[in-house]
Amino acid sequence: MMRRTIIFSLICFFLSATPIHVMAQLETMQIYRIDSIYVLPDSAQPLPLEDFFALIFANHPIVKQADLLQENARQEIRLARGAFDPKIEANWNVKQFKETEYYNILNSQLKVPVWFPIDPKLSFDQNRGEYLNPERFISDQTDFQQFSAGVSLPVGRGLFIDQRRATMKQAELFVDMADAERVKMINKILLTSAKDYWEWYFAYYDYKLLAQSVEIAQEIFDRVRMDYQFGEAAVIDTVQANITLQNRMIDMQQVQIRFIQTGLRLSNHLWNEELQPVVLSDNMVPIQSENFQLVPDRETLDILREQAENNHPELRKLELKRGQLEIENRLNRENLKPRLDLNYNLINAPISPNGEDAQFLWTDNYKFGLDFSFPLFLRKERAKVAKTEIKIQDTEYSLMMRRREIQNEILAVYTEITNTFTIVQQQLQAVNNYERLLEAELFNLESGESDLFKINFQQDKLIESQSKLLKMQANFQKLKATLYWAAGIPYLNYDLEPETVDEE
């Protein structure tokens, strides 16, 4: 214990005995202010966040995957429209036995489904044969041919809505759901990318900061070593200067590793037009955006909360899901009605089988049919209605809860942003004060009231405060991206909207 005390006393003695010549050398030491690290070398290639987002939006696989949602929604629309496609049907049956034509039956139809529940139908029949069913008999006066035109009309179940119309309406809502899901997916990848970008930003400028500190430590070490060689400095001064240099080189190397790691993590979001992964070039560096210090005000908060209430992707999806369920519920309630379908067909009118105009009468030359069915207990139909209403209520609860969570999340992030900005300003003042302390410490050299230990101590504190400021600024930018993400603003309020594509 006594030995350690003696060694410590000797070190303090040598530090306090730093020659005046060494002090004069230290007076010329340059103080690097925080703004100096933002000056980029000529070889650097700046990569603003806006350009980084544009690259992601153009080629990222998740963005491409999100675009597939819209294409899938368009195919859902096409699938639903298929229920309204005109349909041609034809049947031809012939029986020939022992040189006798039992029957030769040809039936062809053209059905044209429409939105309203009146489905037109055109039919052409050609029937002949020795053993033809009497109901299929057609006179030879028309060459065994018969033409009919008619409609079918549901006057009970299916009059106001049926399966095909319900599917069409749900498909239209599905398009909007796909668009909301697409925005949600892209916003998520952009938020992750923004956070990685600002981590890269902090690592790069922290590396530049420590590189400057190494230059300062190297300059001090070289001067002290030169003075030692001329006998004007003690050996312990060179040890102290060398320790400072080594510590700062270690810190710089650690930050350099972090800069490389953050750059590689940032490269995960970069792809070329051929969807091949791209690695950031060594000379590519982050820069501050124009609105770097812009702080969202209370008016912006109110706008964001209102936009989130009306257009947040998650809320839109829940509202559209509720809309689909309401359509399904309407259809299920329609199925509670009895089925009563009317069919009316004119025979050989308004044109004859040979294509000539023919006079028709509603009470003559026609076919009429009526189809009726009704389950007595309606257990299946009533159960479907009850289940759908349960799903609607469940969606309502989810919507209420998610709306509340989103509003609180926006408010929480906004509060953190404003507080963080205040802390950043306070830290900036602290940096300025540390710069003044270092200047004052250098000024004290003129009167011999300072030494190498004090200079290094103030320099370390300045570097520590500058690095802390950089980290706070990066976190502040992360929070701003998180605020727009929490509000569900498409593409985090960046102009990345692609050109619109006309739907089929």
pTM, whole model, 2 decimals? 0.84
Collapsing DSSP states into helix, strand and coil, what is residue 118?
coil
259-297 tens-digit pLDDT: 999 999 999 999 999 989 998 888 999 987 766 678 888
Q: Report the run of H or E that residue 101 belongs to, with start and end.
A: strand 100-111
How far, in Å, CA of 309 to CA of 26, rounded? 61
Residue 301 and residue 345 in one domain? no
How far, in Å, CA of 269 to CA of 279, rounded? 9
Residue 117 and residue 198 in one domain? no
Residue 306 and residue 182 in one domain? yes
208, 267 contact by CB (below 8 A): no
Is residue 51 included in any domain, yes or no?
yes
How far, in Å, CA of 455 to CA of 463, rounded? 12
Among 110-114, 195-199, 205-209, whose mean pLDDT is lowest?
Answer: 110-114
Residue 231 and residue 370 in one domain? no
pLDDT at position 23 over 50: no
Is residue 469 included in any domain, yes or no?
yes
Is residue 190 included in any domain, yes or no?
yes
Task: Give the confidence band of 220 by pLDDT, cuts at 50, 70, 90.
Answer: confident
Average of per-residue pLDDT across 183-199: 96
pLDDT at position 10 over 50: no
Please report, rounded to a whole number, the percentage of residues in the chain having pLDDT higher than 90: 58
Give the domain CATH number at 424. 1.20.1600.10
**Angle at alpha carbon of residue 208, lines to 205 and 213, rounded to 5°:** 130
Is residue 428 included in any domain, yes or no?
yes
What per-residue confidence (pLDDT) applies to 445? 60
What per-residue confidence (pLDDT) applies to 265? 94
341, 154 contact by CB (below 8 A): yes
Residue 268 and residue 301 in one domain? yes
Alpha carbon distances (Å) from 346 to 350, 363, 434 = 8, 10, 99
**Could you list the residue range(s) of the whole structural domain that residue 124 is in?**
81-163+338-384
pLDDT at position 157 over 80: yes
Residue 171 and residue 272 in one domain? yes
Is residue 11 included in any domain, yes or no?
no
371, 341 contact by CB (below 8 A): yes
434-490 tens-digit pLDDT: 989 888 887 776 566 667 778 888 888 999 999 999 999 999 999 999 999 999 999
Q: First CA to last CA across the chain, in angstroms?
A: 88
Task: Give the confidence band of 7 by pLDDT, cuts at 50, 70, 90.
Answer: very low
Q: CA nearest 237: which of 404, 20, 418, 69?
A: 20
Residue 324 and residue 343 in one domain? no
How far, in Å, CA of 438 to CA of 22, rounded? 17
In the DSSP assignment, the letter for residue 164 is H
Residue pointed to by tokens 């080629």: 59
227, 25 contact by CB (below 8 A): yes
Classify strands 284-286 and 45-47 as parallel, antiparallel or unpaired. parallel
Residue 90 and residue 183 in one domain? no
Sign of CA dihedral 355, 358, 361, 364: negative
Residue 276 and residue 358 in one domain? no
- Domain total for the chain? 2
Among 12-26, 228-242, 375-389, 420-434, whose mean pLDDT is lowest?
Answer: 12-26
Query: Maximum Cα–Cα distance for the chain, whole Å?
Result: 135
Residue pointed to by tokens 């070329």: 272
The radius of gyration of the chain's CA atoms, rounded to the nearest angstrom, is: 41
Residue pointed to by tokens 């049956």: 93
Last residue of a domain, one of 318, 350, 384: 384
Residue 120 and residue 168 in one domain? no
Task: Report CA dihedral (211, 214, 220, 225) to the nearest 10 degrees.
Answer: -130
pLDDT at position 11 over 60: no
What per-residue confidence (pLDDT) applies to 502? 43
57-114 tens-digit pLDDT: 999 999 999 999 999 999 999 999 999 999 999 999 999 988 888 989 999 999 998 8
Total number of residues shown for the chain: 504
Residue 100 and residue 213 in one domain? no
What per-residue confidence (pLDDT) applies to 12? 40
Is residue 16 included in any domain, yes or no?
no
364, 176 contact by CB (below 8 A): no
Is residue 10 included in any domain, yes or no?
no
Alpha carbon distances (Å) from 122 to 60, 86, 143, 365, 415 = 52, 11, 19, 15, 69
Is residue 20 included in any domain, yes or no?
no
Residue pointed to by tokens 């409609």: 151
Residue 415 and residue 471 in one domain? yes
